[in-house]
A and B are shown apart, each in its own frame.
Chain A
Amino acid sequence: MKKYKSWKSRLFDAVVVLLLIILGLSCLIPLLHVLALSLSSKNAALSGRVYLWPVELTFTPYKMLITDIRYLRALAVSFERVFLGGTINLVMTVITAFAMSQEERDFPARKYYMWVLLFAMLFGANMVPWYFMIKATGLMNTIWALIIPGALPIYNAVLVMNFFRNLPKEIKESALLDGVSPIQMLLRIYVPLSLPALATVTVFSVVGHWNDFFNGMLLINTPRKVPLQTYIQSLTINTMETSNTSLTPEELAALSSLKTFNAAKIIVAALPIVVFYPFMQKFFVSGLTLGSVKE
């Protein structure tokens, strides 16, 4: 093995590192800018003097935030949604994937179920009847409207199904010889063996629940039941509409105070993702290879 590096190779390394740093910074700078805004004074933010470092450091927006009852309520709704939705998604994914992973000789009806799920995944619901159905089943304006209609993430179930199918067949055969029932087999053998795969699909569904604003906007009309992303979305629409009209200095001042306040809201809304992100990261790659069919 030669370890000597020519000057050409060193120059090449330098260019590669430089390009990667540029790409890395480009991903970081927008987030740092908002963080800096949230920690700067209103005047500094309005006069555009804030770049990547707080100008006239202040924590006022964050102090406002912990007394902003609407924001805190929306935050609580989002946590509740992620907890309930994540749990239900996981349970539904596991039980469906397990039944679907059976051989046709053990579960002859499997293919009919598969067709139904495949059809649903390919075509999806039509938005308008979907909306009326949620209304008709009485979910409207409750947190369940954000959880029940999407309770089974079909794509995740297919990924986990493929994972189950790749588990060694002998385990199942010997369990069946011991007279274990299918549901016992799922709980005692399949689930413990596939924890990483289940963690992966749970990361997908939790991030999906946390980030969704659309269902919250469409299905929840009571302000105090609205999840966080929907709440933030309604704020930006409001500020955008006001900024379109010509403003008096007073209004402009009010808007400028919103600028740092909204920045703080964004930071707090992104925080759970950023905090849990390092823990989730190791599951991404496995998520992409999870669905591959080996035969």
Chain B
Amino acid sequence: MKGFMKKREKKSGGRKVTIRQTWQYHLLMLPGILVVFIYTIIPFFGNVMAFQNFQPALGFLKSRWVGLRNFQRILNMPDAARIFRNSLQIAVGKLVLSMLLSIFFAVLLNEIQHAKFKKTIQTICFLPHFLSWVILATIFRNLLDVNGIVNQVLVNIGLIKEPLMFLGSNDLFQGVLILTDVWKGFGYGAIIFLAALMGISPELYEAADIDGAGRLAKIWHITLPGIRTTVVLVGTLNIANVLNAGFDQVYNLYSPIVYRSGDIIDTYVYRMSFLSAQYSLATAIGLMKSVISFILIVTAHALARKFANYRIF
């Protein structure tokens, strides 16, 4: 994160900077900074309402200050533990399974010589990533309905006796969220591993051929070690997302019956804010998530930089 702070003045060789040269840069920055300031920075400071008993009619200045009382209330709420636990379980399940399937998919594709087949499969598997959860949720509601195609198939092949309520059962709902998300994202997630696979030197495979290594042996000893750095990098950066369970997906698939297993921080904060008008409590929960996420992002980037020499800034 410190990359952009690197001192560059050393190189400047004493060239004089005047406002005549820089005013155009300021002008170009102005619209972006203005929008970000009005719609992100100022609303960020609205987080003070986490320490207030905020009422829209009174505003930030006149609402009563309550210190940490909102946070105390949250710690005593059974809901709070539940939404944090659900978010963590769902997000970690998604991240781990997605990554494993993406790696598996990339390695399989890498074994294909036939360019057209490879391209076709790639195209098909990337597609779900670009469809919205509104559309996909409608599709999955159809598929996973009690009379839906999934239940029909499972009953017909004798795997289950009775149709299952996939979207109405607290035992199954988290699994449905994780699997449908993996389905949506595994193809796109494989791109980065495919790029890494292209970087492996063909000479390694030729040398292995001479040694008489089998296909599986080559995957195990050349392909997988070849993408190890990328795997570590992606895994590390994923740490930043362990509380992001996916608002759009959950919001479009859940219902009050499955709040116990499927309600996550983001959906809860949304309902508290806009349906129950519990602004201060919702903000306090959101703020807790922001702070934890911030720590996770900084940690993840620090680790990524250390292990994989990666930085974005």
Interface residues of A (CB under 8 A from B): 2, 8-9, 12-13, 16-17, 19-21, 23-24, 26-28, 30-31, 33-34, 37, 48, 51, 92, 95-96, 98-100, 102-111, 113-114, 116-120, 122-134, 137, 148-152, 154, 157-158, 162, 181-183, 186, 207, 210-214, 218, 229-230, 232-233, 236, 240, 259, 262-263, 266, 269-270, 273-274, 277-278, 280-281, 284-285, 288-289, 291-293
Would you call A27 and B128 a contact (CB within 8 A)?
yes
Q: Is B214 an interface residue (CB 8 A)?
A: yes
Interface hub of A183, A218, A266 (most chain B Cβ within 10 A)? A266
- Contact string against A for B residues 203-228, beta-carbon threshold 8 Å, 1 for contact and 0 otherwise: 00000010000111000000000000
Question: Whole-angstrom distance from the CB of B57 to the nearest CB of chain A?
Answer: 12
B195 CB contacts on chain A under 8 angstroms: 285, 288-289
Task: Choose from B46, B126, B135, B136 the contact partner of A126 (Cβ within 8 Å).
Answer: B46
Would you call B124 and A105 a contact (CB within 8 A)?
no
B130 CB contacts on chain A under 8 angstroms: 207, 211, 273, 277, 280
B109 CB contacts on chain A under 8 angstroms: 20
A107 CB contacts on chain B under 8 angstroms: 22, 25
Would you call B214 and A92 a contact (CB within 8 A)?
no
State the CA gap A240–B131 with chains docked (Å): 21
A20 CB contacts on chain B under 8 angstroms: 105, 108-109, 112, 117, 121
Would you call B121 and A23 a contact (CB within 8 A)?
yes
Interface residues of B (CB under 8 A from A): 1, 3-5, 7-9, 11-12, 15, 17, 21-22, 24-29, 31-33, 35-47, 49, 56, 105, 108-109, 111-112, 117, 120-121, 123-128, 130-143, 147-149, 152, 183, 186-188, 191-192, 194-195, 209, 214-216, 247-248, 251-252, 255, 269-270, 273-274, 279, 282-283, 286-287, 290, 294, 297, 310-313
Q: A99-B28, A278-B123 are in contact. Are A106 and B21 (CB under 8 A)?
A: yes
Task: Choose from B5, B124, B125, B255 the contact partner of A240 (Cβ within 8 Å).
Answer: B255
Q: A92-B31, A127-B273 are in contact. Are A213 and B39 (CB under 8 A)?
A: no
A154 CB contacts on chain B under 8 angstroms: 36
Would you call B32 and A96 a contact (CB within 8 A)?
yes
State the CA gap A230–B135 with chains docked (Å): 10
Would you call B12 and A232 a contact (CB within 8 A)?
no
Would you call A277 and B127 a contact (CB within 8 A)?
yes
B194 CB contacts on chain A under 8 angstroms: 285
Q: Which residue of chain A is the closest to B290 with respect to CB atoms?
A: A123
Q: A33-B149, A105-B12, A128-B273 are in contact. Are A288 and B143 (CB under 8 A)?
A: no
Task: Choose from B8, B35, B215, B294 the contact partner of A104 (Cβ within 8 Å).
Answer: B8
Would you call A31 and B111 a contact (CB within 8 A)?
no
Would you call B187 and A133 a contact (CB within 8 A)?
no
Would you call A123 and B36 a contact (CB within 8 A)?
no
Question: Whole-angstrom distance from the CB of B55 to the nearest CB of chain A?
Answer: 12
State the CA gap A111–B4 with chains docked (Å): 8
State the CA gap A129–B112 with chains docked (Å): 52
Interface hub of A27, A285, A289 (most chain B Cβ within 10 A)? A27
Question: Whole-angstrom distance from the CB of A291 to the nearest CB of chain B?
Answer: 5
Would you call B132 and A211 a contact (CB within 8 A)?
yes
Q: Which residue of chain A is the closest to B41 with respect to CB atoms?
A: A120
Q: Which residue of chain B is the closest to A212 with respect to CB atoms?
A: B132
B35 CB contacts on chain A under 8 angstroms: 92, 148-149, 151-152
Q: Which 6 A-B pairs have CB atoms at the shortest separation, nearest pair first? A: A129-B46, A211-B132, A125-B43, A105-B12, A129-B43, A96-B32
State the CA gap A140–B126 with chains docked (Å): 35
- 24 A-B pairs with CB atoms under 8 Å apart are A21-B121, A23-B186, A30-B136, A31-B139, A48-B147, A95-B28, A99-B28, A104-B9, A111-B4, A117-B32, A118-B1, A123-B44, A128-B273, A129-B43, A129-B46, A137-B38, A151-B32, A182-B25, A213-B252, A236-B252, A259-B142, A277-B123, A288-B191, A293-B3
